[in-house]
A = this chain, B = another copy of it.
Amino acid sequence: MKCLLVHLFLFLSFSIIQASAQVPKLSQLRVQGNKFVTADGKTIIFHGLNASDPDKLEKSGHWDKSYFEEMKRWGATLVRFPVHPTAWRSRGKEQYLQLLDKGVTWAGELGLYVVIDWHSIGNLKNEMYQSPMYETTQKETFEFWRTMSEHYKDNTTVAFFELFNEPTVMTGKLGTCSWPEWKKLMEETITIIRANGAKAIPLVAGFNWAYDLTEVAKNPINAEGIAYVSHPYPMKREKPWEDKWTADWGYVAKKYPVVLTEIGFCGPDDKGAHVPVISDESYGDAITRYCDTNGISYIVWVFDPQWAPMMFTDWNYTPTRQGRYFKKVMQEYSVKK
């Protein structure tokens, strides 16, 4: 036992918490049945926007409050921060935390809740990924959540921790991962998060690039107060989508809160068009109607002019085709409210 280091550590942690305590507090969200509710029991269904990686935005000079103001103007009530493991490592923990702190502060000041998303794609069991930018390890993933949990444990703006963006074995190219193996990794992460004091709601995705939640029916994650995630891009299934969505992930919303942390589309000739996002406004109509009908929250991908499907084309925030579509839809929710 060496007490000096421990004392220093506690002191530093305390200082950080004090600093973030200066941000005005949003109401503490929690899970009640299949809903998200505030401290006073009000249900919230979110319509949000995906930021691009804070590291990318900072490098291009756009990680500032006006970016958040614009997202709010478009109707967002929730913002997702996709933290790429590569960016996390290259910027370094302390520096990256400073970026996140700024974004969380701006979001909180504007009344926007935040999802922190560990933005990897692949098979965490084998530590094999879709491409190098998604490389991480089980250890790094656990430590990331330990850090987030310690750092944001008293911060109510950070309402969600999305544990792993898109689990996939790429039809075996990354080996195998059974649902029980995945479940165990997620439960371990949730244990770590909660033991470190965080009250953020863990978001758990299923296989097939976070599309498929069929395994939840018989073998749900063994933890209270969590929500499930799907990324039902248009080409994951053929139109008409609704019955397939219900069978694949929508049924989960009867019992647990569900957040579609990525939806979006673009036309076949749009910049960045790729499988599985190519579609048209009929997809927008279908997915938003499905969410509205079933009390499901969603977050559109992506509030950036370079990543696809993009929502605007330049830093005047000129909307793209899906930008126009979702801006209108999302602004109407706030009018109705």
**Known: A146-B128, A301-B1. Is A274-B191 also a contact (CB below 8 A)?**
no
For the complex with contacts A1-B274, A4-B272, A172-B196, 8 further pairs of A-B residues with Cβ separation under 8 Å are A1-B309, A3-B273, A5-B131, A127-B139, A128-B139, A171-B195, A172-B192, A175-B192
Q: Which residue among A191, A262, A301 has the maximum number of chain B CB atoms within 10 Å of its CB?
A: A191
Q: Which residues from 168 to 201 on chain A have a C-beta closer than 8 Å to any C-beta of chain B?
A: 169-176, 188, 191-192, 194-196
Question: Which residues of A approach B to under 8 Å, CB–CB?
Answer: 1-7, 9, 126-128, 131, 133, 138-139, 142-143, 146, 169-176, 188, 191-192, 194-196, 233, 262, 272-274, 276-277, 301, 307-309
Q: Is the CB of B274 within 8 A of A3?
A: yes
Q: Is the CB of A126 within 8 A of B139?
A: yes
* Nearest B residue (CB) for A264: B1
Instruction: Kindly report how many copies of this chain are found in the complex they form together.
Output: 3
Q: Which residues of B contact A133 (CB under 8 A)?
A: 5
Nearest first, the 8 A-B pairs at minimum CB distance are A172-B195, A3-B274, A173-B195, A175-B188, A3-B272, A127-B139, A172-B191, A3-B308
Q: Is the CB of B142 within 8 A of A1?
A: no
A174 to B171, CA, bound (A): 32
**Known: A173-B196, A175-B142, A307-B2. Is A131-B191 also a contact (CB below 8 A)?**
no
* Nearest B residue (CB) for A262: B1
A272 to B1, CA, bound (A): 10
A4 to B307, CA, bound (A): 8
Q: Which residues of B contact A1 (CB under 8 A)?
A: 233, 262, 274, 276-277, 301, 308-309
Smallest CB separation, A107 vs chain B (Å): 23
A17 to B196, CA, bound (A): 47
Q: Which residues of B contact A146 (CB under 8 A)?
A: 128, 173-174
